Amino acid sequence: MKLSFKYQFIISFVTLGAFFVMMIAYINFQAIETTTQRLIDQKIEYLKTTSSKLLGKPLSIYDIATIDDIVGGLSTLKSIKGIKVVDKQDKVISQSGYSKIDNTFLQIRHSITQDNITLGSIVFCLDFSKHYQYIEKNRIQTIQIIFIEILLSILFSYIIGYRISRDLEELTTVAQKIGNDVDIDLPSKQSSNEISKLSYAMKEMQIEIKDRSCRLLEQQNMVDKYVIISATDLEGNITYASEAFCQISGFTKAELIGENHRIVRHLDMPKELYKDLWQTITQEKSWEGEIKNCRKDGKFYWINAHIDPIYNRFDKHIGYRAIREDITDKKRVEELSITDRLTKLYNRLKIDEVFAYEIEQAKRYHTPLAIIMLDLDKFKSVNDIFGHQVGDEVLQALASILQSQSRSVDLVGRWGGEEFIIIAPNIQLKGALVLAQKLRKSIEEHRFNQVGQKTASFGVSEYIDEDTQESMIARADKALFMAKNAGRNQVVVSIDNSNYQTSEEF
């Protein structure tokens, strides 16, 4: 039968107490016995030292008178009961008080020598019976004391052990109930019982932990609901996705977990951005940037992402965590502020910003840069004949042609009225001329609704040393003016401030 913790504790406590008492009693008995034996040894040593002056004399001198003198000289040793002198054959020559000696007495024999020849022995008879009786008496008393102390220790150990085990059992019960989140009735906080005080403190701690856990859970739910968070392993596979991430992406958690973040990647985002992102985070550094993502239904949304490495409790890198902010509305506002409302192309505000950046890049890295300015020929007649609504449709169609026929790195914008501009980075003047001719032919071949065929004139300029936005625009505008004067539907390039050529001449 398995004993409960309570009885196991009591038995262990009682056994330990009894053992402790026995050890004390045993040490006490050993000390008394050792002390008594040391006293006997001291007496024997004194006897040897005192009687040694008699040794070495002729055997004939050890008569009764001499022995009596010896006994008288050793009168301080009350343990001496008799002395006798014997020859080599153990024949008694003389003795004093030896007739009453029995085998229970201690006999100490000293050899009598002369000129290194043993003549006989002198035998002392010692009675240490009182000492040994004292030791035996002490032994019996010690055993009695041990027995009484063991009984008392068992009694007190049981009482103390029972009380402690009862309190421990109560504390264990409280801890188990607290662990199982079971409400318990506890004594007053003012109780003098230490276990009760501890139980009360544990209950208060349980209440505090529950309150904090509830608040933490509420905060976690709020974060999950309103903060766009995801976590991945080292390969970029999603291991966690918040509810907010699911809502903005249109995917469920089941559809996201285990997938790569490519599942929300938008085709408009350049590969270079993701390359920089991945190189940064694989070096266990943080990355932050704006990303355009694609929803499950094909719509897009913008986020500002902050990605950090994740470490386990052993400080081992195990993945990445991304916290995102939905900036779709912000991007829409930005887009409206930099977009021409009619054509949906970039307006002058955005054109100026990008143009300044590209000129700075050309200056710093000595990379080529060109701009193309174009104007729809005789557009005023369209408004006069067909009305402004048809004229707006023509401009919208022209914007679509420019967007579709330009390179992905080019910026196409509306400069004003029927005049448009294309900023073309990393392209030489000859390449810009080819692009302009391509656009001119595409416009010429297009049939505009109600209007039919329309043409456009182009002016092209290239960045040269010490150029500014104004100087490049001025040369391209002058080239456009010359194309108009040369009969329209032409491309004129500006080689420098004074040299302009048509596409045929160039």
Dist CA 219 CA 468 (whole Å): 54
Dist CA 489 CA 373 (whole Å): 13
In total, the chain counts a number of residues equal to: 506
Helices 129-179 and 5-51, packing angle to 10 deg? 160
3-class SS of residue 170: helix
* Distances in whole angstroms, Cα of residue 203 to Cα of each of 5, 104, 109, 166, 189: 23, 75, 81, 19, 11
Dist CA 136 CA 26 (whole Å): 14
Q: Are strands 452-453 and 447-448 parallel, antiparallel or unpaired?
A: antiparallel
Q: Residue 309: beta bridge partners?
A: 320
Nearest of 251, 228, 240, 413 to residue 302 by alpha carbon: 228
Is 418 among the catalytic positions? Answer: yes
DSSP letters, 50-106, are HHGGGTTS-GGG--HHHHHHHHHHTTT-TTEEEEEEEETT--EEEEES-TT--TTSE
Output the CA torsion sign for 461, 465, 469, 471. Answer: negative
DSSP letters, 431-450, are HHHHHHHHHHHHHHH-EETT
Q: Which amino acid is at 88?
A: K
> In this structure, what are the phi and psi dihedrals at residue 385, rounded to the nearest 5 degrees?
-85, -45
Q: Are strands 456-462 and 491-494 parallel, antiparallel or unpaired?
A: parallel
Paired tokens of 179: 């662990």
Q: Which amino acid is at 17?
A: G
Dist CA 305 CA 324 (whole Å): 4
Number of helices (H), then strands (E), in the chain: 13, 17
Helices (H), 52-128: 64-73
- How big is the CA angle at 488 (ends 437 and 490), to the nearest 5 degrees? 20
Please, are residues 475 and 494 in contact by the beta-carbon 8 Å criterion? yes
Marked catalytic residue, from 418, 466, 504, 505: 418
Dist CA 252 CA 401 (whole Å): 39
* Distances in whole angstroms, Cα of residue 374 to Cα of each of 82, 194, 195, 250: 149, 93, 92, 43
Q: Residue 406: beta bridge partners?
A: none
User: Catalytic residue positions?
Assistant: 418
